[in-house]
Amino acid sequence: MINYPVIGFIFFNMRTTIVSTSKLKTNKILGLIIIISLLTALLVDSIVLLFSGRVIEGLFTPLVWIFIGYKSISMLLSLKNISYDASSVYYEKEGFEVQIPFEDIKDIEIKTLTGIYTINLYRPAQDGKEISFKMSLWYPLNFKKQDEIVNKLRDRIERYKRTLPEKNLAGLSSFSI
């Protein structure tokens, strides 16, 4: 695990471009309310199924929905605010800004149809091998605009990696790949 430098108290200066939504806390709260409401309604429905004599459906359905709810909540809570500059990506963690250099980023891919992207890292950082972020609360409706922003970040990462000198992977000065 790599401990990337913690910059200090969060402040986004002029050099960084903010990628993720500014209403991330609102998104998390609304998402939790919706998921918990749906889970509650489905559990009540399962109790009704149990009392109506459909025992297998009444027992199996809540387990499936609890698993789906758990995965949805954990994905929602793992979202970060992402910004970047000429050589690094930054995200917030516990009131501080964490810096990840472009050379440690493997790729950026979309994870869900609702617009959650993940930044996959070569080596684990403080929060694991991937960092998730959401572009917009209205992602399916404005996907072209949001995808352009992510594509600019992808291009910047690729251009930065091309400027780096090649590393000697064998560790020997007489052997080059």
Rounded to the nearest 10 degrees, how much is the dihedral formed by the CA atoms of 134, 136, 139, 143?
-100
Predicted confidence at residue 9, as pLDDT, reads: 44
Q: What confidence tens digit (pLDDT) does each residue in 69-98 have?
A: 898 888 888 888 888 888 888 888 888 888
First-to-last alpha carbon distance for the chain, in angstroms, is 26
Predicted confidence at residue 4, as pLDDT, reads: 56
Predicted confidence at residue 15, as pLDDT, reads: 53
Predicted confidence at residue 33, as pLDDT, reads: 92
Q: Which candidate, 165, 163, 157, 174, places its Cα nearest to that of 84? A: 157
Low-confidence ranges of the chain (pLDDT < 50): 8-14
Contact 98, 144 (CB under 8 A): no
Predicted confidence at residue 10, as pLDDT, reads: 44
Contact 133, 140 (CB under 8 A): no
Contact 120, 129 (CB under 8 A): yes
Q: Is the pTM higher than 0.75?
A: no
